[in-house]
Chain A
């Protein structure tokens, strides 16, 4: 199954949620500035990248995790992508779109705007990172629900035993 976390710019909340899903960030503790900025695409996408679905990795169940920046059109994007996917025979078991915007706070919005839109990274990044740290527990809750929803819907990974003996 393909899980696409989407938000306004595909740079902060969706990337953080995808990183939690992929266990790039530990769930038990709030992330730090370094751990967040090390995540691929975090505070890295610009306007021309919006609309491009970026691959983040495979989870333990073999589901492929992606991020997408779709600006202010959450419902329209979901209607459109789900509708067109259905027309090409892609079932709801193969695609899940997850809106992360409800977990975005004002600090993430202001920081994201300054860093991504205005290009003032030195001012914007610390603000957006602070906002992400504050919102982190809520995002963990979202990802845990999504993980339960998609568990077992991916292609199973080869177990450690099989990997070890290379059957």
Chain B
């Protein structure tokens, strides 16, 4: 199965939740700034490549883990992905789209805007790190719910 974590950029909330799922980040304590910055692709935005899936690795269930960015169209693009895969006869048990927008707060939104629109990378990163650390428990919740779904599916198989 392929897991697609998505957010506006594919390199912020989706990347953090994917990293939690892959076991790269702690689940029983607060995350540190240094740990977030170390994640590959973190805050590495290229507007021209936005939307392209980024492969991160395999999880414990041997699923391939990806992230992608949807920019402002957080509903339309996942719907189009679903629609396209159905057209090509891909079964819905071969992929899962994981919405991570629940983790987005005002600081993250501001940070993303600054990074993309105004190219203020340093200020953007400071806001993003603050926002993501604050929203980290929500990321843990998303991963917990995802794992429950995946475990249920594994039981069925």
List chain A positions with a Cβ less than 8 A from chain B. 2, 4, 50-53, 66, 68-73, 75-81, 83-85, 87-88, 90, 94-95
Contact = CB atoms under 8 A, between A and B. Distances in A.
Contact of A76 (B51, B79, B87): B51
Interface string B70-111: 111101111111011101101000110000000000000000
Interface residues of B, number: 31
A68 B48 CA distance: 21
Given A51-B78, A84-B4, A87-B2, A76 B83 contact: no
Interface in B41-64: 48-53, 64
Contact of A70 (B49, B64, B73): B73
Nearest to B79: A51
A94 B88 CA distance: 9
A73 B77 CA distance: 9
B136 interface: no
Given A72-B72, A75-B51, A81-B84, 20 more contacts: A51-B73, A51-B75, A51-B76, A52-B80, A69-B76, A72-B73, A73-B72, A73-B76, A76-B50, A76-B70, A77-B51, A78-B51, A83-B53, A84-B53, A84-B81, A85-B84, A87-B64, A88-B85, A88-B90, A95-B84
B48 A80 contact: no
Contacts of B72: 71-73
Main secondary structure of the interface of A (DSSP, over half): mixed
Nearest to A53: B83
B50 A70 contact: no
Contacts of B87: 2, 53, 66
Interface of B: 2, 4, 48-53, 64, 66, 68-73, 75-81, 83-85, 87-88, 90, 94-95
A-B pairs, top 10 by smallest CB distance, nearest first, are A51-B79, A79-B51, A80-B51, A76-B51, A51-B76, A53-B83, A79-B52, A51-B80, A83-B53, A83-B52
A4 B83 CA distance: 12
11 contacts: A2-B87, A52-B79, A70-B76, A70-B80, A73-B71, A75-B48, A76-B69, A80-B52, A85-B84, A85-B88, A88-B95
